[in-house]
Structure 1
Amino acid sequence: MKNVLKITPIEKAKTAKEIVYEELKTAIFRGDLRPDEYLTETILAQSLNTSRTPVREAVSDLVKDGLLEAVPRKGLKVREISDEEKEQIFYLRISIEKEVLRRLVHQVTPDQIQEMRDIIDEMRETIQKNDRIANIELDQKFHRLFITFSGQNILGSVLSDIYNLTRLVGHAALGKTGRMEEVIEEHTEIVDALESKDEAFVLQKLEDHLLKTKESITKAQGNS
Structure 2
Amino acid sequence: MYNSLKKVNRNSIKQEIYDQVKYSLFNNELPLNEFITEVELSNLLDVSRTPVREAMNELVIEQLMVFKPRKGYKVNTFTNHEIDQIFLLRESLEIACVPFLVEVINDKHILDLQTIIEHQSKAAEKNDYYTFMLLDKEFHTYLMEIIEFKLFLKSYNVQHDLSILIGTQGLKSQGRMLEVIEEHNEILKALSTKTIDIIITSMKSHLEKSMRAFKVK
Q: TM-score range by the shorter chain?
A: 0.7 to 0.9
Among 202, 213, 216, the alignment partner of 1:216 is 213
SS, match of residue 104 in structure 2: coil
Moved more, 41-50 or 101-110: 41-50
Q: Distance in 1 between matches of 2:140 and 2:180?
A: 12
CA gap 1:106/1:115 in 2 versus in 1, 3 angstroms? same
Q: What letter corresponds to residue 131 of structure 2 in structure 1?
A: A
* Number of residue-to-residue matches in the alignment: 207
Among 82, 88, 92, the alignment partner of 1:85 is 82
The superposition leaves residues 89-123 of structure 1 with CA deviations (integer Å, 9 ceiling, x where unpaired) of 11111122011123202321111111111111111
Do the aligned partners of 1:105 and 1:198 also contact (CA within 8 Å) in 2? yes
Q: Report what 1:155 is aligned to.
A: 152
SS, match of residue 66 in structure 2: strand
TM-score (norm 1): 0.85
Task: Find out whether 1:24 has 2:21 as its counterpart.
Answer: yes
Q: What letter corresponds to residue 71 of structure 1 in structure 2?
A: K
Q: Distance in 2 between matches of 1:137 and 1:174?
A: 16
Q: Report what 2:203 is aligned to.
A: 206
Identity of aligned residues (%): 33
Q: What letter corresponds to residue 123 of structure 1 in structure 2?
A: Q
Moved more, 208-217 or 66-75: 66-75
Q: What letter corresponds to residue 149 of structure 2 in structure 1?
A: Q
Q: Distance in 2 between matches of 1:171 and 1:114?
A: 29
TM-score (norm 2): 0.88
Q: What letter corresponds to residue 65 of structure 1 in structure 2?
A: E
Structure 2 unaligned residues grouped into runs of 5+:
1-10
Q: Report what 1:190 is aligned to.
A: 187
Residue 27 of structure 1 deviates from its aligned partner by: 1.2
Among 162, 165, 169, the alignment partner of 2:162 is 165
SS, match of residue 105 in structure 1: helix
The superposition leaves residues 127-155 of structure 1 with CA deviations (integer Å, 9 ceiling, x where unpaired) of 12221111100100110011111222222
Do the aligned partners of 1:29 and 1:168 also contact (CA within 8 Å) in 2? yes
Residue 82 of structure 1 deviates from its aligned partner by: 2.4
Q: Distance in 2 between matches of 1:172 and 1:110?
A: 37
Residue 31 of structure 1 deviates from its aligned partner by: 1.7
Among 177, 180, 198, the alignment partner of 2:177 is 180
CA gap 1:80/1:185 in 2 versus in 1, 3 angstroms? same
Q: Distance in 2 between matches of 1:50 and 1:106?
A: 49
Task: Find out whether 1:34 has 2:41 as its counterpart.
Answer: no
Q: Report what 1:123 is aligned to.
A: 120
Among 119, 131, 134, the alignment partner of 2:131 is 134
Structure 1 unaligned residues grouped into runs of 5+:
1-13
